[in-house]
A = this chain, B = another copy of it.
Amino acid sequence: MQETKEQVNSANAEDKQAQETEKAQRCLRLLEAALYVAGRPLSLTELSSVLNTRSQQKTKKYVKTLMQEYSSRNTALEILELKDERYVLQLKAEFTPLVKKLVNKPLLSSGPLKTLAYIAYRQPVTQKRVIQVRGQHAYGHIKLLKDMGLVATERSGRSMTLRTTDYFADYFGLSHDTMTMKKELKRIFGEAAKEEEQRRPEP
């Protein structure tokens, strides 16, 4: 009698554990699916809604597990945590130049990307200055960057000042704080930027 009970208990426990594992696996796969289809950073709230749970703590636990799963595996993809507990699935940067040609959404061409880099690097910077340095075409670039939500303008007196948006920071996984972001950017732009800074002290 007792033995049977123990067996039942043990079987129950196993069952339960198997169920738990299965449930956890299901949650991980759901989060993966969500990050894959969205192609943008998702907040814990959005991720929780996919898991159909109100516990952001639980969602966070799962998404961290998924992150670990991705980073421990040999894969071209990565999951990053951004500011304000938002998460994004993306291609590791090292692969970008090698597969860019297969992308069908027209990426920004190198002109606008240079203007973007300049604005990010010198922000806050007047529109006038950007046009002076990048040329007349930069009007179009600025418009495009604003349309894409990567850059925002502020009117200060008679002139327009440009800076990057939080969306920009998220897109590149940078800090939302301008000073910190500029430091991070300098690291990304690397040696070229460093030399430049030494030659030309900030005004």
Binding site for B on A (CB under 8 A): 25, 28-30, 32-34, 36-40, 42, 46, 49-50, 74-77, 91-92, 95-96, 98-106, 144, 147-150, 167
Instruction: Please state the number of chain copies in the assembly.
Output: 2
A99: chain B residues within 8 A (beta carbon): 30, 33-34, 36-38, 50
Alpha-carbon distance between A148 and B149 when the two chains are bound, in angstroms: 21
Residue A102 contacts which of B34, B75, B91 (CB distance < 8 angstroms)?
B34
The prevalent SS among residues of A at the interface is helix
Kindly list 16 other residue pairs between chains A and B, CB separation below 8 angstroms, not including A33-B99, A36-B91. A28-B74, A30-B95, A30-B99, A33-B91, A33-B92, A33-B98, A34-B99, A34-B102, A37-B91, A37-B99, A37-B102, A49-B101, A50-B102, A104-B148, A104-B150, A105-B148
Complex CA–CA separation, A34 to B95 (angstroms):
9
Please, how many angstroms separate the alpha-carbon atoms of A148 and B103 in the complex? 8
Report the minimal beta-carbon distance from A30 to chain B, rounded to whole angstroms. Answer: 6
CB-defined A-B contacts under 8 Å, sample of 29 = A28-B74, A29-B74, A29-B75, A29-B95, A30-B76, A30-B99, A32-B75, A32-B76, A32-B77, A33-B76, A33-B77, A33-B91, A33-B99, A36-B76, A36-B91, A36-B99, A37-B91, A37-B103, A38-B102, A38-B103, A38-B104, A39-B104, A42-B102, A49-B101, A50-B99, A50-B102, A104-B148, A104-B167, A105-B148
